[in-house]
Amino acid sequence: MKNLLFFICIILSINTIYTFAMDFDESYFNKKYSQIAEKIINYSKQNEQPYSRLQYMCDVFGPRLSGSENLEKTIEWLIDEMKKDGFENVRGEEVFVPHWVRRNEKCNMIYPRKTDIPIVTLGGSIATPKNGIKAQVISVKSFEELEKRKDEVKGKIVLYNYDYQGYGKGVKYRFYGAVIAAKYGAVASLIRSVSPKISQNLHTGMMIYEDTIPKIPHAAISPEDAMLLERLISYGKTPELELFIDVETLPDALSHNVIGEIIGSEYPNEIIAIGGHTDSWDLGTGSHDNASGCIVTWEAINLFKKIGLKPKRTIRVVQWTNEENGVRGGNAYKDTHQNEKHILMFEHDSGIFPPTGIRFSGNDTILSILKNTSKLYEKIADFNISKGGGGVDITPMVKTGVPAMSLETNDDGKYFYYHHSSTDTVDKIKKEDLNDCIAAIAIAIYIYSDLPSDLFN
């Protein structure tokens, strides 16, 4: 009897969910929100402010590495501008962040000929001794090859000249390369920059050490120079390099998460948190990564105020600090706010390109309902609502059970041309794409904030 009752309850539950979802079909959303969506899109397409703010943020404050004066000046500006916009409860919440500084770096090839090899030290690396490091190069394609050739490594500089097959497969050499090379006695390690762009592009980013393994300097060189060194080895001419790196890890520095709110008209204690991250690496001006994420999420919610939309739930714009080398901002937000009722975490951190969809991780019933909203975006693009969604800064809250959402764009493979490099500047972003991203985010967040309470209980 117990088993029978159990299966009856399951069937009734599935039927209830199905019926509930059917109440919010495509015609329901088109009828209720088509005029709102059109108003959002039309306003956004003509709005000059977001691109002007993006230019100002990138040009005036420049790169914003955690612990830097540039970052804190940016944060002060964001707080002032949010107050001017009329957001409520605008504030900076304290976060102590890592403070790694780059001072000088140089690499010279001294055999078989003399030439400069441009390098960029990877974030968190130690310096070389004051007199530098002079050593021969051993080039490998993978960790597996390094393991097979471990007896050749001692006293040399390991070069990871892997075949680029996407960021996810390349970044492991940046992250773990120094640890594994040092385990076999290397005195330094270099990686081919994690970028598909063959144009002397240097790509930085975070790396790690392990306490039980000696620390060695770790840096990136261009794809062209990585290939050059490997070709020289193939000729029987083992390159010798001189490496000079002056960097330092200082005590943690005070930074802030930036917060501003629109208080919900019906459910003020139910929170949708949305934002990007204010910090960037110290090359370029962090325009795609992630000044643009801050601007599109901020301006999407600011748009509600401009056209008179009043969301039922509280929308909290959060611009997190220290995503790039520590996620201290995301963790601090979780520690401070996890006991508040969050119904969604939204982050945009994938650059600005034509928007193509919304990705959502959470309740399948809500996902099935959201899929019925896709036609509302048709004046922007052919839109796809699918499972997925997330971001580094929102992950700590998502792990507590809060649903996640993010915007999907079509970068045509170009995002990693600029990512973590000196080419990540505001001229790489089109104003039309920026405004379309803002409109898409605004539609998604407004509809989500308007869903029935039954879905969140």
Q: How far apart are CA 98 and CA 121, in angstroms?
A: 16
Which residues are 405's β-sheet partners? 346, 360
Which residues are 203's β-sheet partners? 421
| Cβ-contact 29, 372 below 8 angstroms | yes
* Pairing mode, strands 404-409 and 355-361: antiparallel
DSSP category for residue 129 = P
SS3 content of the chain, % helix, strand, coil (to 5): 40, 25, 35
Catalytic (active site) residue 323: yes
Q: How far apart are CA 457 and CA 454, in angstroms?
A: 5
The CA dihedral of 198, 287, 218, 176, to the nearest 10 degrees, is -90
Q: What is the 3-state secondary structure (H, E, C) of 161-182?
A: CCCCCCHHHHHHHHHHHHHHHH
Instruction: Return all residues near 403 (Cβ < 8 A) that are at least 6 apart.
Output: 343, 344, 345, 360, 361, 362, 363, 366, 389
Structure tokens at 90: 């605008």
Structure tokens at 333: 């937000």
Q: How far apart are CA 158 and CA 138, in angstroms?
A: 5
Q: Which of 323, 324, 347, 408 is an active site residue?
A: 323
* Pairing mode, strands 384-387 and 355-361: parallel
Q: Which residues are catalytic, by number?
A: 323
